[in-house]
Amino acid sequence: MAQTITVNPVTRLEGHAKIVLDLDDNGNVASGHLQVLEIRGFEKLVEKMELFKMPQIIARICGVCPAAHHLASVIAIENGLGIKAPEEAGLLRELLYLGHILHSHTLSTFFLAGPDILMGIDAPAGSRNIFSLLNLDAELAKKVLRLRSIGQRTVEIVGGRGIHPVTAIPGGMASRPGKEKLEQIAGWGKEALGILDEVLPRVREHLGALEELRQVALLPPRSMALSKEGVVDFLAGDAIVVNGQGETERRFSAADYADHLIEHVMPASYMKSVHLRGPQEINYFVGPLARLNVNDTFRTPRANAALQEFHGKGRPRLSALDYIEARLVEMLYCAERMVEIAAEELAEGTLRVGAEPREGRYVGMVESPRGILIHDYTADAEGRIKEANLIVATQNNYDAIDSAITAVARHFNPMKNDNQLMNGMEFALRCFDPCLSCATHTAGRMPMEVLIRHEGAVVRTLSRRFADD
């Protein structure tokens, strides 16, 4: 008879998920699998949509990373038309996106994974939340709230809206901030660097206490990320795949992604997995950690120094917990680069070139905060969408997530300590910063349930749900 254990509060994940653990005859974990329970549907919803409206419409797929979808869509359209936005428009897009990544990484590091890191994964679920962080260190909480606000306000000023930005259009940008606003953003970038100087050492110190778990939560050996001649670039470059020895195994452009990636429908899950094509399909992972494994340098000095330090601890690094430190490095880069771009003369240059929709295929690839994001549209002669396919970062990470869940579940032995098991698996998930709403277009509540099975039969159920469920 299945046993049910209810634990509050609701888990800190962006979406609705279930974990299934299959046991062997000795009661040990044979495998673990994430199941995503609600359907996305955006690829069907956008059929017949006007192509040039896609950058605004498709951003609505997610309230956490709308800027990523906004720019992936614009870049896909420009690639299909064979046009390039003016340099000034490119810098403004980059500035918008830096604010977006700073905001997203702050949310992931401090609000979602932060309670696990700062309070310990052994802490009761009811105390591992942002409110307990406020009680633990109100000043730290205020600083990270300010950091998140800086990122979001930057998106609002450059993108026209803090959520679902609208200013990037095929051919360039629809508008630009004035000189005073750019000076304000430059000041915010400097402020963000000061905040990061204060809070990052504390996060790194607490990560050190999780070294045993870092050694456990291992990933598939292949990393995939965009690279522009060895330099981290969120909006341009080819996709590079490196193996566990750091050797480049393949390189491809956005237009060629289907020759290298294959999607699979998963049993009992509305999220598809993605593998590298080959005689035998190959697992890989994406995101901040993959970007740092693949690339050699950043464009800014402090971030580049932090990257060299990161590489000094091993390259490639292959633990789910390494994602957290990788985000810290990228946050430094975002703040530094915001200062650089906002100091540019961006008030008078050409902002857009002419563009008209036409029949054809449109493919764009960017680095979302969580990893490689691909938009692929086919338009008819009237410039309306006939077909759309999206591959989002969390899909790319499906196999890596399952690997980390399985490893952590084995480590905590599910028959001994339910609190450690649940906390450990949830923390492993949060390391990837999964966006299940992005991957499936979820709606509604977000409980987590763990099924523990033996030979297909459920022997126990663990869950965290809302108190009023």
Distance CA 379, CA 54 (A): 11
DSSP string, 162-190: SSS---EETTEES----HHHHHHHHHHHH
Please state, in angstroms and rounded to a whole number, the distance separating the CA atoms of residues 298 and 262: 30
What is each CA distance from 194 to 26, 110, 175, 331, 450, in whole angstroms?
53, 16, 30, 12, 41
Structure confidence at residue 445 as a pLDDT band (50, 70, 90): very low
All domains in the chain, ordered by first residue: 3-40+397-464 (no CATH), 51-252+281-391 (1.10.645.10)
How many C-beta atoms surround the C-beta of residue 270 within 10 A? 19
What is the structure's pLDDT at 3? Answer: 35
Is 235 a residue whose pLDDT tops 60?
yes
- The stretch 346-354 carries a mean pLDDT of 85
CA distance 425 to 441: 23
Contact (Cβ atoms closer than 8 angstroms) between residue 369 and residue 105: yes
* Predicted local distance difference test score (pLDDT) of residue 86: 95
Q: What φ, ψ does residue 274 adopt, rounded to 5°?
A: -130, 135
Give me the pLDDT at residue 15, please: 55
| Helices 138-159, 87-106: inter-axial angle, 10-degree rounding | 150
pLDDT cut 90: percent of the chain above it: 64
* Helix/strand/coil for 211: helix
- 3-state secondary structure (DSSP) of residue 33: strand
| Average pLDDT over every residue of 148-174 | 95
Q: What is the pLDDT of residue 307?
A: 98
Of the pLDDT bands very low, low, confident and very high (cuts 50, 70, 90), residue 9 is very low
Supply the mean pLDDT for the chain: 88
Which residues contact residue 369 at a Cβ distance below 8 angstroms, ignoring those fewer than 6 apart?
65, 68, 100, 101, 104, 105, 108, 287, 288, 393, 433
Mean per-residue pLDDT, 316-337:
98
Question: What pLDDT is attached to residue 443?
Answer: 37
Are 341 and 86 within 8 A, CB to CB? no
SS3 content of the chain, % helix, strand, coil (to 5): 45, 20, 35
Contact 164, 70 (CB under 8 A): yes
Does residue 41 have a pLDDT over 80? no
Judge whether residue 5 has pLDDT over 50.
no
Q: Single out the residue of 6, 5, 9, 36 nearest to residue 20, CA to CA.
A: 36
φ/ψ of residue 390, rounded to 5: -120, 135
CB 403 within 8 A of CB 34: no
From residue 410, alpha-carbon distances to 184, 317, 390 in Å are: 50, 21, 33
370 touches 433 (CB < 8 A)? yes
Say whether pLDDT at 118 is over 90: no
Which is more confident, 453 or 243?
A: 243
| Lowest-confidence pick of 153-157, 409-413, 418-422 | 418-422
Higher pLDDT, 364 or 350: 364
Q: Does residue 25 have a pLDDT over 90?
A: no
- At 469, the pLDDT band (50, 70, 90 cuts) reads very low
Residue 155: the pLDDT is 97
Give the count of beta carbons closer than 10 Å to the beta carbon of residue 289: 30
- Peptide bond before 414: cis, by omega within 30 degrees of 0? no
Q: What is the pLDDT of residues 166-222, one digit of tens each?
A: 999 999 999 999 999 999 999 999 999 999 999 999 999 999 999 999 999 999 999
Q: Which of 10-14, 28-32, 71-75, 110-114 has the highest mean pLDDT?
A: 71-75
State the pLDDT at residue 103: 96
| CA–CA gap between residue 140 and residue 111 (Å, rounded) | 12
Residue 442 scores a pLDDT above 50: no
pLDDT of residue 440: 46
**Is the model more confident about 348 or about 231?**
231
What whole-number distance in Å separates Cα of residue 2 and Cα of residue 21?
13
382-388-392-397 Cα dihedral, nearest 10 degrees: -150
pTM as predicted: 0.90
**Residues 243-288: pLDDT tens digits?**
999 999 999 999 999 999 999 988 777 888 999 999 999 999 999 9
| Residue indicated by tokens 């409110």 | 131
DSSP 451: E
Torsion of CA 232, 238, 243, 249, to 10 degrees: -150
Distance CA 32, CA 289 (A): 22
Cα–Cα distances (Å) from 151 to 81, 99, 256, 439, in that order, read 31, 4, 33, 23
Q: What is the pLDDT of residue 413?
A: 73
Residue pair 32/18 in contact (Cβ under 8 Å)? The answer is no
